[in-house]
Amino acid sequence: MPIAIDRRRFFQSGALAAAGIAAAGRLPSQGGEPVAGRALLEAARQVPVVEEADVVVCGGGPAGVAAAIAAARTGAKTRLIEVNGCLGGVWTAGLLSWILDTGNKTGLMKEILARLKERGGLAVYGGDRGYDVEEMKILLEEICLQAGVLVRLHTRACSAARSGKRIEAVITESKSGREAFRGKVFIDATGDGDLAAQAGCGFDYGHPETGQAQPMSFIALLSGIEAEQVAPFVRELAEAKDWGSPKDNLRAEMQRAGVDPSYAKPTLFYIRPGLFCLMANHQYGVAGTNADELTAASLQGRAEVHRLVSALRATGGRWADLRIVATPEHIGVREGRRIHGRYTVSTEDLLAGTRHEDAVCEVRFPVDVHSTNPAETKGIADKKVRAKPYEIPYRALLARDVDGLLIAGRNISGDFIAHSSYRVTGNSVPMGEAGGIAAALAARSGRMPHELAWSEIREQRRAQAAAG
């Protein structure tokens, strides 16, 4: 059955602007500026409904994959829609290679780590976990398929259809054209809150005073260096186990080679013999919701990484065989829209170590704001807020303005400072897991996610963790 798009809501959602059509309702930080006031009116068309699912998850990063697996394991017909050609988001398409804040996590996060270890794809350094990106890609596909998740890659969520306050379909664009996927419950795990914004949710973006989001980073996988020879530049290998000195050593080494990285704390991660990950790039003042800016950041990031690596190689010695083996499909975006939820995780929560009845996970990762102003510092902004361990409540995953919509991962409801702490992937996974279970329980019982009792979600989660 075709689905009719409500033109007024479509207009407000910003989707017209995304298509390059002048619209008063255009979202901040989105592209689509008309040239010299010109605009095209795209013809109205019928969009085929290609599926009726219980749960539709948009975005297949750490949060979205976890949400889809958990929903499918709870018995829901679950569709996962991902724009890249692999699952994993920043984990894989971004080449991250490092998982933070896993120490106190159970359930899916623990299962993913255990299964990575079985395949020889995991390196453990104290509380941190390094992993092989290709092992992560294939593992996430395997777990999703085993759980019965219906995976659609190469497909972008580009609009939403609502009935009253309730979201009823996501409209996608792909090689198959425009399609609609209906669902009983939706989860926005796009990192940037794309679906929620398209559905009409309010959101915050960037620093409350400047509107600037944290810089992006273009990561690279490197080979051709030996662990013992580069030990002074790698925290896991260096004698001094502090975070700072290996980064300062690496920066000095780059400067000696005649290059100065845009990230003043360049980091070399040791994944396994012969494989390292380099994070030495910062792209400042770029919005992840603007295609022109993303393009420029990607081109500049890739060029810089090649420049840094070539310069080190030219110095010979331990760097003589240094090579880039991969650059990311997608530049690493730290921060996008923070969708308004029924609870907003705040700086005060971090200071107080707030606990909740409906706790999805406990965050132990500190405040970590990469500088938004390179004129002040190109490193980490001053850490004025000392966070105590605190909890993320389920209510921060419930969209405030749209019913039937959950949010999971870095686009949940929180302030700028809180986001800089809870965004790491050891927290994205339990957020997705709880969201997926809640979505499935709601869909199966004909309720909205906000109508569930937390105890129902908690019991189902415990059962899945025990089985996994």
Ligand X SMILES: Cc1cc2nc3c(=O)[nH]c(=O)nc-3n(C[C@H](O)[C@H](O)[C@H](O)COP(=O)(O)OP(=O)(O)OC[C@H]3O[C@@H](n4cnc5c(N)ncnc54)[C@H](O)[C@@H]3O)c2cc1C
Binding site for ligand X (CB under 6 A): 58-64, 81-84, 89-90, 93, 96, 98-100, 156-157, 189-192, 194, 217, 279, 332-334, 409-410, 423-426, 428
Report the SS3 class of residue 120: coil
In the complex, what is the shortest distance from the CB of residue 373 to ligand X, in angstroms, rounded to a whole number? 18
Residue bearing tokens 């030990």: 231
- Rounded to a whole number of angstroms, the minimum distance from the CB of residue 428 to ligand X is 4
Can you give the length of the chain in residues?
A: 468
SS3 sequence of 397-425: HEECCCECEEECCCCCCECHHHHHHHCCH
Which residue's structure tokens are 């290679």?
97
Q: What angle do CA 198, 404, 50 make, to 5 degrees?
A: 70
Q: State in angstroms the smallest separation of the CB of 364 from ligand X.
A: 12
Instruction: Decide whether 311 or 339 has the Cβ nearer to ligand X.
Output: 339
For the bound state, the minimum distance from the C-beta of residue 446 to ligand X, rounded and expressed in Å, comes to 27
Burial of 155 (0-12, 13-18, 19+ CB in 10 A): buried
Nearer Cβ to ligand X, position 424 or 443? 424
Q: Which is nearer to ligand X, 420 or 460 (CB)?
A: 420
- Residue 292 or 459: the one with the smaller Cβ distance to ligand X is 292
Phi, psi of 48 (to 5 degrees): -70, 135
d(CA 203, CA 340): 5
Q: Which residues of 343-363 are buried (b: 16+ CB within 10 A; e: fewer)?
A: bbbbbebbeeebebebbbbbb
Helix extents (H) in 235-343: 244-256, 291-314
- Rounded least distance, CB 409 to ligand X, Å: 2
Which residue lies nearer to ligand X by CB, 308 or 318?
Answer: 308
**CA 468 → CA 98, 106, 107, 124, 212, distances in Å?**
23, 10, 7, 21, 41
CA nearest to 283, candidates 190, 367, 218: 218
Residue 194 belongs to what H/E stretch? helix 194-198
Tell the smallest beta-carbon distance from residue 354 to ligand X (Å). Answer: 21
Question: Which C-beta is closer to ligand X: that of 318 or that of 427?
Answer: 427
Nearer to ligand X, 60 or 318 (CB): 60
We find the least distance from the C-beta atom of residue 86 to ligand X, in angstroms, to be 8
Give the DSSP letter of residue 230.
Answer: H
Cβ proximity to ligand X, 347 vs 428, nearer residue: 428
Q: How far is the CB of 210 from ligand X (least distance, A)?
A: 19
